[in-house]
Amino acid sequence: MAMTRRRLLSAAAMTAVAPALGGRAWGAPLPREADIVVIGAGAAGIAAARRIQAANRRVIVVEAASQIGGRCLTDSTSFDVPFDRGARWMHNPETNPMVRLARNAGLAISAASLGQKIRIGQRNARAGETEEFLAALVRANRAIDDASRGKADVSCASVLPKNLGDWAGTAEFVLGANATGKDLRDVSVMDKARAQDRNAAIGCRQGLGVLIARLSEQVPLALSTPASHIIWGGRDVAVATPAGKIAARAAVVTVSSNVLAAGNIKFTPEIPKRQLDAAARLSLGSYDRIALQLSGSPLGLARDDVIIEQSNSTRTALLSAHIGGSSLCVIDVAGSFGRDLSGEGEQAMVAFAVEWLTKLFGSDVAAAVKKTSATRWNASPFALGAMSVAPPGGQPSRKILTEPIGNLFLAGEATHETLWGTIDGAWESGERAAEAALRKIGALGEPATAPSRVPKQRRRGTQGKFN
């Protein structure tokens, strides 16, 4: 009989204590055996576990945090609408499996509003100015694509056209920090150009963390159970956790590249230097959200308006106003500026958000702030950052991370060559690693030579969107 977490939970007759941000607790003793152990209950881990279950093999997911979702984490209680602390948008709806899964799970999904505006000081950019900016973005993207076909990989910043004028800083923010968590000087043209176009943005009203938790409902998993030591070889694997050891035939490891590179999990034998170096090269950028509950309408903005500013400094941000028509406004900070700011702590982040909004919308903002919350992903011990992006020369590292290491298989957004930094990239990587692990234990035949989900689409300009 297939083991599900529900069965284990009911067998244990335990009292489940739901942590503040969702998720469920494990009440039964940790199983001592599985066919495959999955490390991490983010998008990649849940996808891997579901794929292993679909092949009728025993799986157990061990998760260090007290909730499911990893970098998809929804705070459903602090504000009058859910606050997605991590991933918020699903892109490319025609091919993104998460959109269908959300729909099938009965969650409400809808496209982002088209209300995107640029502030120039305290006024909105005029139509002609917005056109100029969008043209600058197209030229910048084209220069990056062209450079990616060169022999040597270089930084995106080094190939930007020199004549972007007043829009240079804004283009750098939109294509660099805001898109990848790193400034363009730290981003490889090859990695950026290989990234699949992230067109359209589809949100989930209940939150993407809720989606991942919903998709995990039939998956046996243990929360607050970090893998501390993985002993692996050609045939068996043993995963040590504070709740005991699990013996299996293979493991899928989905922890972030920063967690892997930090050595927070001990491996015996050690993971080959080739893969460890690859994880270190694909270090995570910085991306945080500062949530402000504002009374009234001090910004004069409409439901779901998205605002950036014309700026020639990295000290800038992106605002999502009145999310779902609520009083919740979220200011995203990223890249080197976001990293420094989040290092100063939540109070400094909120102070910046208020100062920035005041600069753009006037002095009524401060008095309207009723409640605040800010993420600090770099300091979050089980993530250690936001999303991976390769520096010049680092793009081949993604493929290196997909190579099997005995009976260990790495997954997670960093291992996806075109959808890195996304929830669907993480999901696909989990399925891929699960299939490789199933093949290793003889539970699946050799793969048909399947192409990846969609061939790389050329960037078609910005289609009037900047986030």
Ligand X SMILES: Cc1cc2nc3c(=O)[nH]c(=O)nc-3n(C[C@H](O)[C@H](O)[C@H](O)COP(=O)(O)OP(=O)(O)OC[C@H]3O[C@@H](n4cnc5c(N)ncnc54)[C@H](O)[C@@H]3O)c2cc1C
Does the footprint of ligand X cover residue 339 (CB under 6 A)? no
Q: Provide the CA 344 distance to its chain's centre, in angstroms.
A: 23
Judge whether 252 and 36 are in contact, CB under 8 Å: yes
Does the footprint of ligand X cover residue 254 (CB under 6 A)? yes
Could you tell me which residues are beta bridge partners of residue 60?
37
| Gyration radius from the chain CA atoms | 22
Q: Which is nearer to ligand X, 125 or 282 (CB)?
A: 282
Of 223, 296, 167, whose CA–CA distance to 30 is shortest?
223
Q: Which is nearer to ligand X, 281 or 289 (CB)?
A: 289
Does the footprint of ligand X cover residue 230 (CB under 6 A)? no
Which of the ranges 26-34, 38-46, 169-177, 451-459 carries the binding residues for ligand X, by CB under 6 A?
A: 38-46
What are the tokens at 198?
A: 């992230």
Structure letter (DSSP) for residue 196: P
CA distance 213 to 130: 39
53-89 b/e with 16+ CB inside 10 Å = b?
bebebbbbbbbbbbbbbbbbbbbbebbebbbbbbbbb
Does the footprint of ligand X cover residue 368 (CB under 6 A)? no
Does the footprint of ligand X cover residue 436 (CB under 6 A)? no
Give the residue, chosen from 250, 383, 408, 438, that forms a contact with ligand X under the rule CB under 6 A: 383
Q: Which is nearer to ligand X, 263 or 345 (CB)?
A: 263
Give the residue, chosen from 192, 289, 339, 398, that forms a contact with ligand X under the rule CB under 6 A: 289
Q: Are strands 250-253 and 408-410 parallel, antiparallel or unpaired?
A: parallel
Judge whether 22 and 234 are in contact, CB under 8 Å: no
CB of residue 215 vs ligand X: minimum separation in angstroms?
12
What are the helix (H) ranges across 328-370?
Answer: 335-344, 346-361, 365-368
Does the footprint of ligand X cover residue 265 (CB under 6 A)? yes
Q: What are phi and psi of 327, to 5 degrees?
A: -85, 0
Q: Are strands 266-268 and 109-111 parallel, antiparallel or unpaired?
A: unpaired
Give the residue, chosen from 34, 109, 204, 259, that forms a contact with ligand X under the rule CB under 6 A: 259
CB of residue 426 vs ligand X: minimum separation in angstroms?
3
CB of residue 138 vs ligand X: minimum separation in angstroms?
22
Does the footprint of ligand X cover residue 65 (CB under 6 A)? yes
Does the footprint of ligand X cover residue 258 (CB under 6 A)? no
Does the footprint of ligand X cover residue 412 (CB under 6 A)? yes
**Backbone CA torsion sign across 48, 99, 338, 79:** negative
Site mask for ligand X (CB under 6 A), range 174-213, x = bound: ----------------------------------------
Give the residue, chosen from 21, 321, 423, 443, that forms a contact with ligand X under the rule CB under 6 A: 423
Does the footprint of ligand X cover residue 413 (CB under 6 A)? yes
Structure letter (DSSP) for residue 293: E
Does the footprint of ligand X cover residue 22 (CB under 6 A)? no
Place of tokens 């150009």: 193
Give the residue, chosen from 36, 44, 271, 318, that forms a contact with ligand X under the rule CB under 6 A: 44
Note the residues at the interface with ligand X (CB under 6 A).
Answer: 39-45, 62-65, 70-72, 86-89, 226-227, 254-256, 259, 264-265, 287, 289, 377, 382-383, 386-387, 412-413, 421-423, 426
